[in-house]
Amino acid sequence: MKYFEEDGLALREEFDFPVLGKVLVCPYSHPEQVTLPKYIKCRQVTNKGTQLPEEYAAMIRDMARLGLASKEPLVVGGHKITPWDFSVSYIIRERDRILEETNFGAQRGCASVVVKGKKDGIKLLGHGEIKHSLEVQVNQVSKSAREKIEAAGGKVEVL
């Protein structure tokens, strides 16, 4: 599937992130899709995310729609150049301008990981450290896990 063509664009949806609010996200590959099913009995793991600010994500989507993600070389002015190489250079150059104009701070991304399936007896535990706001929906949660997630600005919903 090509995420910037009609069938991929149809999969975009708005996701309400804690702190950030509603953000348009689209599917993308990430390790959780492979690793989570090894440890949790589930039917499906879906990742959706985007780059922020939206102006930055829109620039990348527009370039892909224009065919500038191709790695097939073209001859331009007697020189072989790949649209991909041009795009990477252009995005890096424009990134700083966009971040400055939007007064956004550092460019960053956001992601949602949705796990579908029955989680018999699995409980979210509070080991480790949480550095970012998370919104989780689980069958069971320990008191320490809930406290850590909420202290980081996140939410816990017990299903």
pLDDT at 68: 86
What size, in residues, is the chain?
159
- List, for residues 62-93, the tens digit of each pLDDT value: 888 888 888 899 999 999 999 989 988 998 88
Please report which helix (H) or strand (E) contains residue 15, including its range.
strand 13-17
Task: Please report, in angstroms and rounded to a whole number, the separation of the first and last CA atoms in the chain.
Answer: 32
Could you give the CA distance from residue 145 to residue 155 in angstroms, rounded to a whole number?
11
Going along the chain from its start, the domains and CATH numbers come out as 6-117 (no CATH), 119-159 (3.100.10.10)
- CA 75 vs CA 6, 36, 72, 80, 81: distances in Å: 29, 45, 10, 4, 6
Could you give the CA distance from residue 45 to residue 57 in angstroms, rounded to a whole number?
23
Number of Cβ within a 10 Å radius of residue 2: 11
Q: Which two tokens stand for residue 99?
A: 């971040």
Could you give the CA distance from residue 5 to residue 64 in angstroms, rounded to a whole number?
9
**Residue 41 CA to chain centroid, in angstroms?**
23
Cβ neighbors of 1 (< 8 A, separation 6 or more) are: 7, 8, 27
DSSP-based three-state secondary structure for 78: coil
Q: Is the pTM of this model over 0.85?
A: no
pLDDT at 156: 87
pLDDT at 80: 93
| Digitized pLDDT (tens) for each residue of the chain, 159 residues in all | 555 566 666 777 888 776 667 877 877 777 777 877 777 777 777 777 777 788 887 888 888 888 888 889 999 999 999 998 998 899 888 888 888 888 877 666 666 677 766 656 567 777 777 777 777 877 788 898 889 888 888 888 887
